[in-house]
Amino acid sequence: MKVLGLETSCDETGIAIYDTENGLLAHQIYSQIAKHAEYGGVVPELASRDHVRKTLPLIDEVLQEAGLTKHELDAVAYTSGPGLVGALMAGATIGRSLAYSLNIPALGVHHMEGHLLAPMLEDAKPDMPFIALLVSGGHTQLVRVDAIGEYRLLGQSLDDAAGEAFDKAAKMIGLPYPGGPQIAALAKNGQIRPDLKFPRPMTDRPGLDFSFSGLKTAFLTAIHNALDEERCDEPFKADVALAFEMAVVDTLVIKCRRALESEGLKRLIIAGGVSANTRLREQLESQLKKIQASVFYARPELCTDNGAMIAYAGAQRLLSGQSSGLSLSIRARWPLSELPSIKGAA
């Protein structure tokens, strides 16, 4: 089955073709980062317009890359939530219309299920059950995964997601949007300083929930103190960026290890934009080795929003006989727990 995947939940237009027999055939991503950077964040109306402008040309590109015509497609999968309503509607309308014109099934896919399953596109992929850390600009969640569609939420952020915290911290020291990669790049030049030791929020109490608001406050306080003392120069910014990144990473690692131990599992996947963070990957691999556990993740270009994850997730559900009707169901909010299970999906 050859499935065309369309991802338009936020500020990236991702298009891909996944073949259930031959794997990922082609994928393209158009990022709107430059367009939104001047506003310091995503402008929903601009995002929707760009999806309308770029989706059809990108579909043509991936078809050409895969050496296929649209008539050789067997199904279309599109993101139907969660995300920005206008952006979701752009991709869903195009995907559903294309499927109707070709007389093939279409399926609305859960954006976070796409992220959760993205590591399954790699050669090294985990057997289920496993723990998933979904960490991005909009989500920070720990989920137990027993099968596709069998998800149990173990913990989540009570305020900002980790990616959002990175974005806000970056803005505080004058770095452009998106902040995660900017903080990580600046932190490479930083030095560990005892006077810049930030809290690891909610790690000193039981449970698997997250909170990054206090960490942001500590970061802002350090910046204000440096400004008052006229020492907020570039070396200081690098040092404070490193301290912030280390605090976020340590918090995520501690909670992941706790989740594995509490559930009696030895496999963890990390997915979402923040999962591309090099320090996070290195620390997870190092710390999980101590408990004989393994960590899995997607290649960097499949960590951010992309069509490949939607095509793959859609293919698994389409193979089980699921499809969506002609009426579109777009959901800005959509708990993973509401998804039906797929027994025996590959």
Looking at domain 128-297, its CATH architecture is: 2-Layer Sandwich (3.30)
Question: Residue 126's CB: how many other CB atoms inside 10 A?
Answer: 20
pLDDT in the model for residue 345: 46
Find where tokens 């900002």 sit: 160
Neighbours of 221 (CB within 10 A): 11
3-state secondary structure of 35: helix
- With beta carbons less than 8 A apart as the criterion, state whether 288 and 107 touch: no
At 9, which amino acid appears?
Answer: S
Q: What is the pTM of this model?
A: 0.94
pLDDT of residue 37: 86
Element (H, E) at 46: helix 44-66
SS3 sequence of 156-205 = EECCCCHHHHHHHHHHHCCCCCCHHHHHHHHHCCCCCCCCCCCCCCCCCC
> What are the helix (H) ranges across 175-329?
179-187, 213-228, 234-263, 278-289, 307-319
CATH of domain 2-118+302-338: 3.30.420.40
**How many helical (H) and strand (E) elements, i.e. helices and strands, does the chain have?**
10, 10
Q: How far is CA 308 from CA 7, 37, 156, 160, in A?
A: 8, 25, 25, 27
CA distance 255 to 77: 33
Tokens of 78: 């599109």
The letter for the amino acid at 182 is Q
Q: Judge whether 294 and 266 are in contact, CB under 8 Å.
A: yes
CB 305 within 8 A of CB 119: no
Quote the tokens at residue 271. Answer: 């997915």
Most distant CA pair in the chain, distance: 68
- How many residues are recorded in the chain? 346
- 259 within 8 A of 208, measured Cβ to Cβ: yes
Query: Known binding site for Fe cation: residues?
Result: 111, 115, 305
Distance CA(328)–CA(302), nearest Å, equals 26
Q: Which of 128, 174, 158, 170 is nearest to 266 (CA)?
A: 128
* Strand 267-271 with 294-297, pairing: parallel
Which residue ranges make up the annotated binding site?
111, 115, 134-138, 167, 180, 277, 305
**Per-residue pLDDT in tens (0 to 9) along the chain, 346 residues:** 999 999 999 999 999 999 999 999 999 999 998 889 888 889 999 999 999 999 999 999 999 999 999 999 999 999 999 999 999 999 999 999 999 999 999 999 999 999 999 999 999 999 999 999 999 888 899 999 999 999 999 999 999 899 999 999 999 999 998 899 999 999 999 999 999 999 999 999 999 999 999 999 999 999 999 999 888 999 999 999 999 999 999 999 999 999 999 999 999 999 999 999 999 999 999 999 999 999 999 999 999 999 999 999 999 999 999 999 888 889 999 999 899 998 644 4
- The answer to whether 196 and 225 are in contact (CB under 8 A) is no
In 3D space, the residue among 303, 174, 325, 285 whose CA is nearest the CA of residue 237 turns out to be 174
5, 309 in Cβ contact below 8 A?
A: yes
Phi and psi of 151, rounded to 5°?
-120, 135
The CA-CA-CA angle for residues 304, 115, 270, to 5°, reads: 85
Strand partners, 145: 130, 151
Binding site members for substrate:
134-138, 167, 180, 277
Q: What is the pLDDT of residue 96?
A: 96
In the numeric block, which tokens belong to residue 9? 């939940």
31, β-bridge pairs: 12
Q: What are the residue ranges of CATH 3.30.420.40 in the chain?
A: 2-118+302-338, 128-297
